[in-house]
Amino acid sequence: MTTKRTLVSLIEGDGIGPEIAAATVKALDAAGAQVDWERVDAGLAGVERHKDPLPQATIDSLKKTQVALKGPLATPSGGGYRSVNVTLRQQFDMYANVRPAKTIKGVPSRYENVDVVIVRENTEDLYAGVEHYVDPRRTAAESIAIITKFGSERCIRYAFEYARRHGRKRITLVHKANILKMSNGLFLDTGKEVAKEYADIQFDDMIVDATAMKLVLQPERFDMIVTMNLFGDILSDLTAGLIGGLGVAPAANIGDSGCAMFEAVHGTAPDIAGKGIANPTGLMLSAAMMLDHLEQRDAAARLRKGVIAALANPETRTGDLGGKTNTAGYTDAVIRLMD
């Protein structure tokens, strides 16, 4: 049976984005992915070409294709425009950000046997965009964390459903409800309620500071974590560090609207952009998650096989992982080792 070809919006992104996107597209072709690309801009490329960090054409493309592969986008700290990443996740209501971190054999790391999936709420919390200066001289500012029962429940439910689909045994809800009694208390209480419907999945909760320590001391204790936006953002960089670094960590943004967007956990890496040395693994593994989502499982398996085999050998992995090759050399190895 031939697989139906799917049109996918491709946002190459800023910094190392174009380099890792080109590598990923090449590897996807070689893996036999049945996708056609609609290339659209966002971030700095959007500003340069359309004077808009999130051009209407990009929004229209996502509305049409309902699936996107996205490179990292630069968001200047402080003033300027709002994060395009946050806007895209909110606009398409992709409320769950799924970030798996699994030890990859051969990749240098301080730990073995890490296998944890973080489900991060993606639309609320301190990222809801409710911020203002308190005084006209701008010497004090306030950012408000919005947590709703609705937003908490659908994300936590997504985590439980994910656990069932993927044979996961335990979910740890991470919070700071001892101090943030109302907002984080609401997330925790909602989690306890939802958990009652999933007797087959173990459920516990942990305060975020203790979680940070336990993840470092005993990461194999964790199976899945569900948490709010800010804690999820921070802890998923931590879990990326447990498996070798940001270069290898993938992510998926999913909601009920049907739209899904796949991107690496890392940012634009401006320090190495344009040098041809970036590690495209995070985006490649995000693309494998995209192929699973599109039910192109054979191509996903081929891509993962090539990635894992190339990472196992220092000759064929990139410098950030102690390897000897560059983006192009690694990509060629991934393709060669797929079969």
Q: Is 305 a catalytic residue?
A: no
Position 197 contacts ligand NAD (CB under 6 A): no
Question: Least separation, in Å, of the C-beta of 264 and ligand NAD?
Answer: 6
Count of residues in the chain: 339
**C-alpha pair distances (Å), 63 with each of 44, 58, 91, 260:** 21, 9, 10, 10
Residue 327 · residue 23 · CB < 8 Å = yes
Among 41, 125, 127, 205, the one annotated catalytic = 127
The interaxial angle of helices 327-336 and 297-311, nearest 10 deg, is 120
Question: Least separation, in Å, of the C-beta of 322 and ligand NAD?
Answer: 12
> Count of residues binding ligand NAD (CB under 6 A)?
20
Question: Least separation, in Å, of the C-beta of 218 and ligand NAD?
Answer: 25
Question: Least separation, in Å, of the C-beta of 26 and ligand NAD?
Answer: 16
Closest CA to 226 of 183, 175, 265, 260: 175
Whichever of 239 and 296 has its CB closer to ligand NAD, that residue is 239
Whichever of 191 and 323 has its CB closer to ligand NAD, that residue is 323
**C-alpha pair distances (Å), 203 with each of 85, 200, 225, 227, 238:** 30, 9, 10, 13, 22
For residue 165, give both structure tokens. Answer: 């689909």
Among 176, 205, 320, 330, the one annotated catalytic = 176
Residues 246-285 that bind ligand NAD (CB under 6 A): 246-247, 263, 266-272, 278-279, 282
Give, for 10, the enclosing helix (H) or strand (E). strand 6-11
Q: Is 79 exposed, middle or buried (0-12, 13-18, 19+ CB in 10 A)?
A: exposed
Helical H segments across the chain, by residue range: 17-31, 43-50, 56-65, 84-91, 149-165, 183-195, 208-217, 229-242, 281-293, 297-311, 327-336
- Round to whole Å and give the CA distance between 204 and 225: 10
For residue 90, give both structure tokens. Answer: 């909110």
Residue 59 · residue 91 · CB < 8 Å = yes
Question: Least separation, in Å, of the C-beta of 175 and ligand NAD?
Answer: 23
Binding mask 162-191 for ligand NAD (x = CB under 6 A): ------------------------------
Residue 309 φ/ψ, nearest 5 degrees: -70, -40
Residue 138 · residue 122 · CB < 8 Å = no
Whichever of 72 and 151 has its CB closer to ligand NAD, that residue is 72
Q: Is 95 a catalytic residue?
A: no
Question: Least separation, in Å, of the C-beta of 91 and ligand NAD?
Answer: 15
Q: Is 36 a catalytic residue?
A: no
Whichever of 10 and 73 has its CB closer to ligand NAD, that residue is 73
Whichever of 204 and 315 has its CB closer to ligand NAD, that residue is 315
Position 11 contacts ligand NAD (CB under 6 A): no
Q: Is 127 a catalytic residue?
A: yes
Whichever of 188 and 321 has its CB closer to ligand NAD, that residue is 321
**C-alpha pair distances (Å), 285 with each of 263, 280, 282:** 9, 9, 5
Residues 56-115 that bind ligand NAD (CB under 6 A): 72-75, 85
For residue 116, give both structure tokens. Answer: 């944890």
Question: Least separation, in Å, of the C-beta of 136 and ligand NAD?
Answer: 28
Whichever of 264 and 338 has its CB closer to ligand NAD, that residue is 264
Position 320 contacts ligand NAD (CB under 6 A): yes
Among 29, 189, 204, 209, the one annotated catalytic = 209
Torsion of CA 115, 97, 294, 289, to 10 degrees: -30
- Supply the residues annotated as catalytic: 127, 176, 209, 233
Give contact residues for ligand NAD (rule: CB under 6 A).
Answer: 16, 72-75, 85, 246-247, 263, 266-272, 278-279, 282, 320
